[in-house]
Amino acid sequence: MGSKYPVLSPKAVIKALEKFGFQYVSQKGSHAKYKKTGNPTKVVIIPMHNEIAKGTLKSILEQAAIELDDFLKQL
């Protein structure tokens, strides 16, 4: 059975995260930092590579406290 996490571009992940209230903070090298508006403890790092691997997406969603189903609805 395959993974339920899709392989996505950083642009698609960022667009969905922004719908959850995350905003760009800074970038160092090829990694961008996004912080949740009104909750400075929710910070996620997005690798700005060609695509974001399934395991990396899982980690990003765990850090952001977003359920996969909710995230996929925002794509």
34: which strand partners?
24, 44
- Tens of pLDDT, residues 13-23: 999 999 999 99
- Tens of pLDDT, residues 35-64: 998 888 899 999 999 999 999 999 999 999
The answer on pLDDT for 1 being more than 60 is no
pLDDT of residue 32: 98
CB atoms within 10 A of CB 11: 11
- Per CATH, the homologous superfamily of domain 10-73 is Hypothetical protein. (3.30.920.30)
Q: Where are the chain's structural domains? A: 10-73
Residues 6+ apart with CB under 8 A from 37: 21, 22, 23
pTM over 0.85: yes
52: which strand partners?
8
Q: Can you tell me which residue has the tokens 């969603």?
A: 61
